[in-house]
Amino acid sequence: MSLFYAPVVIYIVGLVIRYRGLTFTAVNPGLPGSGFIGENKSDSLLQLQKDNAQLTAKTKLILQANTPDKKYQQCKVFMQENKLSYPVILKPDFGQRGIDVAIIYNDKSLVDYLAEAVFDTVLQEYIDGVEFGVFYMRQPDEKNGKIFSITHKCFPSITGDGVSRLDELISQHPRLHYMAAFLFREHHDNLHTVPAKGEEVNVVQLGSHCRGSLFLEGQQYNTPELAQVVDHLSQQIDGFYFGRYDIRAESIEAFQRGDIKVIEVNGVTSESTNMYDPSYSVFTAYRILCKQWAFAFEIGQKNIAQGFVPMSVKELVNKVRVMNSGA
C-alpha cells in the first residue's frame, strides 16, 4: 500500500506548495484535524442520532476507562432500552479499514470482545441489507452539496455443491481464496460442514475491502431523493463539508429513495472507494484519488478565508507521532 500511495503523496505535496499550507486540514472545521487524525467515529454519529434517529444506526460509546463488567452492563442496558437483539456490531471508536470490527452474536462474544478491547468501543445495532459508501462534498459558498461518488459494497457468498466442506469451497473460490486464512478464523466452528447443493452461504458480512467485500462503481444508483437526504444529514454535522458515509439500506431501491441508515461517517482521509472497482485501471484509481484531494484543498482554502485555522506542519507531525506511539 505504501508503494501504491507514493504518487498520491507526491501529488499532495504539490497541492501543499500550490495552496501554501495544509489547507485540507480546514476542510471539516467541526472535526479534529478535519478527520485527518484524532477523529472519533462516535462524534458525528451521535450528532446525527440526536436529530435524525430514523436515518442513523443506533449507536452507543463505551469508554475503555470502565471495568469490563461495567462495559458489559452498559451494552446490555443500551440494547434493552433500544429493543436490540443479537447480532450487534462492536468496533473501535478510532480505527480504519475495518480493523477490529466484529459482528457479535451472543453474550459470550460480547464479554470476550470487551475484555480484550484496549480502546473506546462503539456499540451499534446491526443493519441487514445492502451497503454503500457515499462520498459527499460541499463548497462553503454554496447552499447545497453533492455526491462525488457511490460505491456498491458487495458481499461475496459461497454456493454449496452438496459434497465439499465450507473450507474447501472457500479455498476454491476465485476471490475469497486470497483471504482463506482470515475466513477460516471467522468461520472456524463451521469449516467442516457441507452446505447443501445450491445452498448460498454468506461468508462476508462487513463492508470493508480488506474483509472480503467487493467494491463496485455505484454512481448509477444516485437519485435526487438520495442526494437530498445525504445533503440534509451533512448539514446537521457541525462544520462538515467533505467525507464519506457508510450506509446500509433494506434494498437498492430503498437506498435510491433515501430510506437509509448511516453506520459510519469518515472525514478527510476517507477514500472514494469506487476506485477499487476491479474494472478500473490503476490510473483511473489515481485520477479519482487526486481529484478527491484537489477538492479537499480547495474547500479547505475557502474555509480558511472565512476564518478557520488549518494545522501547521509541526502540529500535524506531532499528532502523527503521538498516534504512532500509542500515547
d(CA 221, CA 257): 10
Does the global pTM surpass 0.85?
yes
Task: Show the domain range for 67.
Answer: 58-126
Condensed to tens digits (0 to 9), the pLDDT of residues 7-61 reads: 999 999 999 999 999 999 999 998 877 877 656 888 888 889 888 999 999 999 9
Condensed to tens digits (0 to 9), the pLDDT of residues 227-247 reads: 999 999 999 999 999 999 999
**What pLDDT does 156 receive?**
83
Residue 39 lies in a domain: yes
Condensed to tens digits (0 to 9), the pLDDT of residues 77-130 reads: 999 999 999 999 999 987 666 578 888 999 999 999 999 988 899 999 999 999
Q: Looking at 169, 203, 237, which one is the last position of a domain?
A: 203
d(CA 180, CA 191): 11
Q: What is the mean pLDDT of residues 239-263?
A: 97
* Same domain flag for 277 and 177: no
* Same domain flag for 30 and 148: yes
Average pLDDT, the chain: 90
Q: What is the mean pLDDT of residues 204-229?
A: 87
Q: Report whether pLDDT(133) > 90.
A: yes
Helical axes 282-305 vs 2-19, angle rounded to 10°: 30
* Same domain flag for 133 and 23: yes
**What pLDDT does 320 receive?**
72
* Same domain flag for 222 and 313: yes
d(CA 308, CA 276): 33
d(CA 296, CA 179): 33
Residue 208 lies in a domain: no
* Same domain flag for 28 and 79: no
* Same domain flag for 75 and 143: no
Residue 95 lies in a domain: yes
CATH number at residue 64: 3.30.1490.20
* pLDDT level of residue 322 (50, 70, 90 thresholds): low
* Same domain flag for 101 and 223: no
Condensed to tens digits (0 to 9), the pLDDT of residues 145-176 reads: 999 999 999 988 889 999 999 999 999 988 88
CATH number at residue 34: 3.30.470
Q: Report whether pLDDT(188) > 80.
A: yes
* Same domain flag for 149 and 218: yes
Q: What grid cell was written down for 91? A: 468496533
* Same domain flag for 236 and 271: yes
Q: Report whether pLDDT(210) > 90.
A: no
